[in-house]
Amino acid sequence: MARKIRDIMTGSPTSVSPDLDIVTVARAMRDEEIGAVLVAEGDDLLGVVTDRDLVIRGLAAGGDPAKAAIGGLASSVTATIGPDDSLDKAAQIMRERAVRRLPVLEDGRPVGIVSIGDLAIEKDSASALADISAARSTF
């Protein structure tokens, strides 16, 4: 059983510039089959955008998504975790902050992302969340 975040995180997370348009980011998320991207300038993490953010804060807000910058949709990062931190610490942070994904930072720069599904697969592989999280995308 994995004991550290580095054992279960998705490494090399997709990062986008805050100036990139919503449509381009949505297509990248589709093509890479991911549900979240980090918004960064160089090694400076500015925020996180999820597929839900694209719909709720992007499309439903109106305007032209081909012209709207993704930086305007990003949630500020309220918590991060290190690659050598424990899975229990990640679960505690997610519970306390009510977040489903945590950016993983090493020496102040993003090196991964860990999701509640990643934790479920590792900590309770028999759970419904683990089953759903482990399933391959069909789109």
Q: Is 107 exposed, middle or buried (0-12, 13-18, 19+ CB in 10 A)?
A: exposed
Distance CA 88, CA 81 (A): 11
Quote the pLDDT of residue 130: 45
Average pLDDT of the chain is 88
Residue 50 has pLDDT above 60, yes or no: yes
- Assigned CATH topology for domain 5-134: CBS-domain (3.10.580)
Q: What pTM did the predictor assign?
A: 0.84
Quote the pLDDT of residue 23: 96
Residue 44 has pLDDT above 80, yes or no: yes
Q: Coil, strand, or helix at residue 82?
A: coil
| pLDDT above 70 coverage of the chain, percent | 86
Measured from the Cβ of residue 77, the count of other Cβ atoms closer than 10 Å reads 17
Q: Which residues pair with 69 in a beta bridge?
A: 21
Q: What is the pLDDT of residues 65-110, one digit of tens each?
A: 999 999 999 999 999 999 999 999 999 999 999 999 999 999 999 9
Q: Following DSSP, what letter does each residue of 90-114 receive, concatenated?
A: HHHHHHHHT-SEEEEEETTEEEEEE
H or E segment to which residue 47 belongs: strand 44-50
